[in-house]
Amino acid sequence: MKRARVFVGSCLTLWFCYAGEAGAADLARAALARGDESAAFDQFLRRAENGDPIAQNNVGVLFLKGRGTGRDFGEARRWFQAAADKGLPGAMHNLGVLYLRGHGTQSDPAQAAEWFTKAAELGDADAQFYLARLLYEGEGMAQDLSGARHWFTRAADQGLPAAGFNVALMLLRGQGGAPDEAQALAYLQPLAAENETARLLIAQIHLIHAADPARAALALADLRPLAEAGNPEAQYHLGMMLILGQGLARDYEEGRFWLQQASRAGFVPAQVNLAGLYERGLGVAPDPVEAVAWYEIAVSNGDAAAAIVLARLREDLSPPERARAEALTVELRARHPDIVRSTDVPAATP
């Protein structure tokens, strides 16, 4: 299984807060809903100047985004600071975002980490997520995988999907603590209905135990619909299950079909295995020309192992066969624009 970065599906977000403003929040929210951002700004500013931390935070958001007023990073920071000094976790989170992104100033991950830490300790799930990210990367603070796992877990337990995915990856890898596949699945299952990457990862976890027919069936139940919907990695795994006879009858022809689909989308492991089918004649007549063409494409995608096999196979081809292999490679690349992709192969699993 391949390694994936954490932080899938996450982004830095600035949050409005609405509560306890004696009706002003409702008026401001209604103004935003109808697109009258100037009126919303006026409502929030009136309360902010009277010391309301929630309104102060929201004025900061509007200044930062240039909504209802001109964009002014200095004013945004001033209002966030005022609300944070009154203990508002959302404002602390927003200050962390401001310093991490370097809005109106040089990016300062260490300062961002301080504010994320304060907000995280007060229970802000988004701040917990970004504190975990900084700890994982060692950005703005010393790397601490145990701490990263702790804060991803805290955010995940508050229902933040990206945190749930990331703590699942750390649990599978044994990063920051002992590996725990069952707990990883527990975090992934609630995400599966809405998150294709989580479904794919669940299927791949079951594939590790494909010798158990029940686990193979669970993997297949997720992989087939994903493959039919066009997910190249699912197509690859479904193809390999068919070729290996995992959880269903061995079927080289259908397996080759799914490897072809994934290969044309640029998924390198599928290209290498498809080349291997043609090289060894598994379920199809041996075809060294087709094999060389697919190994050539895999090499173009950065696969070093394929380059070794390709060099050997090309030596065995006659000049006419080499010419046909080169022509086929050109034809495949022209027919399928995504067939050669970045050398960073997309991956969803550790």
Total-model pTM:
0.82
Residue pLDDT, tens place only, 218-236: 999 999 999 999 999 999 9
- Please write the tens of the pLDDT for every residue from 232-277: 999 999 999 999 999 999 999 999 999 999 999 999 999 999 999 9
Q: Is 170 inside any structural domain?
A: no
Write down the pLDDT at residue 149: 98
67 domain-assigned: no
Q: Cβ atoms within 10 A of the Cβ of 95, count? A: 26
Mapped onto helix, strand or coil, the DSSP state of residue 4 is coil
Percentage, residues of the chain above pLDDT 90: 84
The answer to whether residue 155 sits within a structural domain is no
pLDDT digits (tens, 9 = 90+) for 6-35: 444 333 444 555 544 445 567 777 887 788
Residue 337 counted as domain residue: yes
**Which H or E element spans position 232?**
helix 232-244
Calculate the average pLDDT of the chain: 90
Distance CA 46, CA 61 (A): 15
In a domain, 163, yes or no: no
As given in the structure block, the two tokens for residue 234 are 């699912």
Q: How many residues does the chain have?
A: 350
**pLDDT surpasses 80 at 280:** yes
**Residue 210 to residue 194: CA distance in whole angstroms:** 25
Tell me if 276 sits within 8 A of 308, measured CB to CB: no
**CA 252 centroid distance within chain:** 32
The secondary structure element, H or E, covering residue 195 is none
Domain count, the chain: 1
What's the pLDDT score for residue 25? 63
**330 assigned to some structural domain:** yes
Task: Name the nearest CA neighbour of 313 among 272, 262, 259.
Answer: 272
Residue 322 lies in a domain: yes
Q: Is residue 277 part of a domain?
A: yes
Q: What is the pLDDT of residue 17?
A: 57
Print the domain residue range for 317: 273-341
